Amino acid sequence: MEKKFGVYICKGCSIGESINIDNLTKSAARVAKIQPDAVRVHDVLCSPAGLEMIGNDIKEGANTLIIGACSPRVKFEEFDFPGAITERVNLREFVAWSQDPNTDATQSIADDYMKMGIIKAQKGNLPEPNILPDLSKTIVVVGGGISGLTSALEAAEAGYEVVLVEKQADLGGWAAKLYKQIPREYPYEKLEEPAVFGKIKEVEAHPNIKVYKSASIEKTEGQPGLFDVTIRTNGTGETIKAGAFIMAAGWQPYDASKLGHLGYGNPNVITNVQMEEIAKTGKITRPSDGKEAKKVAFIQCAGSRDPEHLPYCSSFCCATSLKQAKYVREKNGDAVAMIFYKDIRTPGQTEIFYKNMQNDPGVLLTKADVTGISDAGNGNMFVEAENTLLGEKIKVEADLVVLATGIVPATRVPQEYLDGLTEAGKKGDDARKAYIESTPKPEFILNLDYRQGPEIPSLEGAYGFADSNFICFQYETRRTGIYSAGCVRQPMTMADASDDAAGAALKAIQCVEHVAQGIAVHPRAWDMTFPDPLMIKCTSCKRCTEECPFGAIDEDEKGTPFYRVNRCRRCGTCMGACPERIVSFKDFSVDIIGSMIKGIEVSEDEFRIVVLACENDAYPALDSAAIKRNKINPNVRIIPIRCLGSTNLVWVTDAFSKGIDGLMLLGCKYGENYQCHFVKGSELANYRFSKVRETLDKLQLEADRCELIQVAISEYDKLPDMINKFVERVEEIGPNPFKEF
């Protein structure tokens, strides 16, 4: 496309009263290499008249538009010109609303921003989607429990082909082992027949669903839209094409053999899973002698909420024990159920079920810490407890004890093994080898043939759950196109797992549809650009393959990286990582940002600071500060970037060799509670920045000229001061000695 520039400056919203528009017009024209009278100035550019003016230019052939007006966060409908490169220059928020009017400093800020906008438009190109051939929209569901069955049905009903892979010989998972289900509808009184059997029938009869039982995934190669999945069933392997995954591999009960202190090992101390089996027989009997149990004790949090066992709450055990207490009471009106609990957790409307059970005089609820189980003779046991509400120790006889054991996600064992491998790997090849030799290799679930490992990477503080760290974006994990659902993600009830499974199915559908259009998925679900590396210059240093938060880059036999572009989320972390600077997007590249930095005017008597701001949170925060008319330090020039992870260290060199005095990175919080929308971006930028000190040493510059600051979108009131403090520190250090060159 031959670019024909249209440069526009809006005078509205006090822009016209803050700067000399004529001078800005002249400087912009110079940069854009057009005549000053070709720069269009309008009183209110977003008004119908202003937009008509731009529209007419487009009709005349303008296809590269630089719009100096308000922030790109507003007036997005007005300034949307499909087919044209459109660069919004934030003269309103970053100049008129946050700077002193009509000073030289303010004028030069406006000049710099217009110049940077023009450079970006000159260097950038219109994106074209990258649609790979032979895409599959088939969705693979891993796990045939309540979550997997629900996901499979929902996706199939939405019109997609589904392949369901179940490890066991039968579908249904734990849900099929239940005698009855907790009531799900008002008035929450009657136990329900397990709903799972109906779902199994529907799944098995559905024309869009193919079920593999007694099956496992031997290998998953490829990328969203182009997965080759090898499924092994009864000794034979079959490879199918698939577009996306739903990971619903479920859970295991916590190993009760670790609960000896609660009497497990005694035949009459059983788990809540065993209790379901017993209830199915029609009578609540105890294992030791088959005698009907009439005094049944339930011990809550058997393993859960215990730092020695499971440091989380397993969410469903309180309601499950209440339900099982109802089994006891319904089977024999003379029997009593005693529930020993820390807190009864029946959130939401389940509370009403709890209340109904409380009204049954044969159900006794006692807040207590169970300290032990002792023999009471004849197969009976004493439950001993303290910290009761009466403040005294108690000892209660029971003829059957049910441990409300919690859940362990199916992902935990493989994740722990892989985390151990990573740790060993950090100590060197020998340690890694020793780890592999000494540690039993667990059964993997997805068996991804990814450079970064065969499973969904573990989330810090998630205890093996394949969960998302995002509250707002529940299905975001670090493996594009693979969405986890149900108890493999979080402890949850069956009702919640069904909702969750439907959501995961939708995300899988979105993924295959976006891949078919060659656009990214969340959080840049509109983005048509993609990383386009100049491989001829690649040195196979593998930094990109290691750093990509989404494992989008693999290596061939020779160790040369190659992209699996459908796994890519377009954060630009690879672009930031690459020392050869070979990775570019059509509208975002090392050269574009570097040229923008180099375009900033530097004078000898003024300090100039570049702020690279994450466009997701830091940029809106800066905007918000300006909307409140808070002053932003006039020495800084703000450049939005996709994610701090895209920061290439050459920009540091670019800045300082140009004479910039300081460089600030503003991005999202990292660490366990990270807020980075690309998971690792800001953390990686921080890591790279720690290396920047070496670069600065080489340049004989002070390392303190660079700083990375973590900022939340809500901290806009503090932000101007954070910037001021940094500018002050740079001023204390003094001007960049390269200025004079």
Partner 1 sequence: MADNKKVLVIGGGFSGLTAAVETAEAGFDVVIVEKTPFLGGRVTQLNKYFPKLCPPNCGLEINFKRIKNNADITFHTLAEVEKISGQEGSYDVTVKVTPRFVNDKCVGCNACAEACPVEIPNEFNFGMDKTKAAYITHNQAFPFKYAIDGRYCKGASCAKCVEACKYDAIDLDMKPEIVSLNVSSVVLATGWDSYDVSKLDNLGGGKIANVITNMMMERLASPNGPTSGKILRPSDGKPVQNIAFVQCAGSRDENHLPYCSYICCMASMKQATYLREQYPDSTARIFYIDLRTPGRYEQFYWKVKDDPKVSFTKGKVAKITEDPETKDVIVEAEDIQLGKKIKAKFDMVVLAAGMVPSTKASKIPGDITYTADGFVVSSSLKKGIYAVGALKSPVDVSMSVQDATGAAIKSIQSARRSK
Q: Name which of residues 711 to 730 contact partner 1 (CB under 8 A).
A: 712-717
In the complex, minimum distance from the CB of residue 523 to partner 1, in angstroms, rounded to a whole number? 6
Figure out which of the listed residues 617, 661, 683, 707 binds partner 1, where binding follows CB under 8 A. 617
Residues 348-387 that bind partner 1 (CB under 8 A): 348-352, 355, 367, 387
Residue window 665-694: x/- pattern of binding to partner 1, with contact defined by CB under 8 A: ---xx---x-x-x-----------------
Contact call for residues 11 and 43 (beta carbons, < 8 A) = yes
Of 252 and 653, which CB lies nearer to partner 1 in the complex structure?
252
In the complex, minimum distance from the CB of residue 705 to partner 1, in angstroms, rounded to a whole number? 29
**Cα distance between residue 205 and residue 209, in whole Å:** 8
Of 364 and 506, which CB lies nearer to partner 1 in the complex structure?
506
Task: Indicate the Cα dihedral angle 222, 233, 440, 253, nearest 10°.
Answer: 100
Contact call for residues 269 and 299 (beta carbons, < 8 A) = no
**Cα distance between residue 174 and residue 253, in whole Å:** 10
Largest CA distance in the chain: 103
Token pair of 172, please?
């249904």
The contacts of residue 274 (CB under 8 Å, 6+ apart) are 287, 402
In the complex, minimum distance from the CB of residue 588 to partner 1, in angstroms, rounded to a whole number? 15
What does DSSP say about strands 244-247 and 139-142: parallel, antiparallel, or unpaired?
A: parallel
- Applying CB under 8 A, the span of 175-183, 279-287, 493-501, 636-644 interacting with partner 1 comes to 493-501
- Applying CB under 8 A, the span of 484-492, 559-567, 597-605, 723-731 interacting with partner 1 comes to 484-492
Contact call for residues 245 and 511 (beta carbons, < 8 A) = no
Residue 629: CB atoms within 10 A of its CB come to 10
333 binds partner 1 (CB under 8 A): no
Residues 451-470 that bind partner 1 (CB under 8 A): 461-463, 465, 467, 469-470
Residues 519-578 that bind partner 1 (CB under 8 A): 522-523, 525-526
- Applying CB under 8 A, the span of 54-62, 173-181, 417-425, 488-496 interacting with partner 1 comes to 488-496
Figure out which of the listed residues 152, 492, 602, 636 binds partner 1, where binding follows CB under 8 A. 492
Figure out which of the listed residues 179, 254, 298, 475 binds partner 1, where binding follows CB under 8 A. 475
Of 351 and 555, which CB lies nearer to partner 1 in the complex structure?
351
Figure out which of the listed residues 507, 564, 567, 637 binds partner 1, where binding follows CB under 8 A. 507
In the complex, minimum distance from the CB of residue 726 to partner 1, in angstroms, rounded to a whole number? 20
Nearest C-alpha neighbor of 138 from the set 236, 227, 233, 230? 227
Residues 621-660 that bind partner 1 (CB under 8 A): 624, 627-628
Of 436 and 713, which CB lies nearer to partner 1 in the complex structure?
713
- Applying CB under 8 A, the span of 83-91, 135-143, 313-321, 372-380 interacting with partner 1 comes to 313-321
In the complex, minimum distance from the CB of residue 72 to partner 1, in angstroms, rounded to a whole number? 9
Nearest C-alpha neighbor of 190 from the set 372, 323, 383, 368? 323
User: How does 503-536 read in b/e, with b if 16+ C-beta sit within 10 Å?
Assistant: bbbebbbbbbbbbbebbbbbbbeebbbbbebeee
3-state SS, one letter per residue, for 377-431: ECCEEEEEEECCCCCCCEEEEECEEEEEECEEECCHHHHHHHHHHHHHHHCCHHH
* Alpha-carbon distances, residue 341 vs 41, 171, 403 (angstroms): 72, 33, 11
CA angle 418, 422, 424 (to 5 degrees): 110
Figure out which of the listed residues 39, 65, 66, 74 binds partner 1, where binding follows CB under 8 A. 74
- Applying CB under 8 A, the span of 9-17, 200-208, 441-449, 589-597 interacting with partner 1 comes to 9-17
345 binds partner 1 (CB under 8 A): yes
**Cα distance between residue 336 and residue 528, in whole Å:** 64
- Applying CB under 8 A, the span of 72-80, 223-231, 554-562, 633-641 interacting with partner 1 comes to 72-80
In the complex, minimum distance from the CB of residue 81 to partner 1, in angstroms, rounded to a whole number? 13
**Cα distance between residue 681 and residue 569, in whole Å:** 12
Secondary structure (DSSP) of 33-86: TS-GGGSEEESSTTSHHHHHHHHHHHHTT--EEEEEES-TTSSTTTT--TTSEE
In the complex, minimum distance from the CB of residue 555 to partner 1, in angstroms, rounded to a whole number? 32
Residues 102-131 that bind partner 1 (CB under 8 A): none
Figure out which of the listed residues 510, 595, 653, 657 binds partner 1, where binding follows CB under 8 A. 510
Report how far apart the first and last C-alpha atoms of the chain are (Å, whole number).
Answer: 38
76 binds partner 1 (CB under 8 A): yes
**Cα distance between residue 177 and residue 274, in whole Å:** 9
Of 518 and 620, which CB lies nearer to partner 1 in the complex structure?
620
Residue window 40-59: x/- pattern of binding to partner 1, with contact defined by CB under 8 A: ----x-xx------------
Token pair of 650, please?
């050459």
Looking at this protein, which amino acid is placed at residue 268? N
Of 553 and 711, which CB lies nearer to partner 1 in the complex structure?
711
Residues 210-269 that bind partner 1 (CB under 8 A): none
Figure out which of the listed residues 158, 191, 421, 431 binds partner 1, where binding follows CB under 8 A. 158
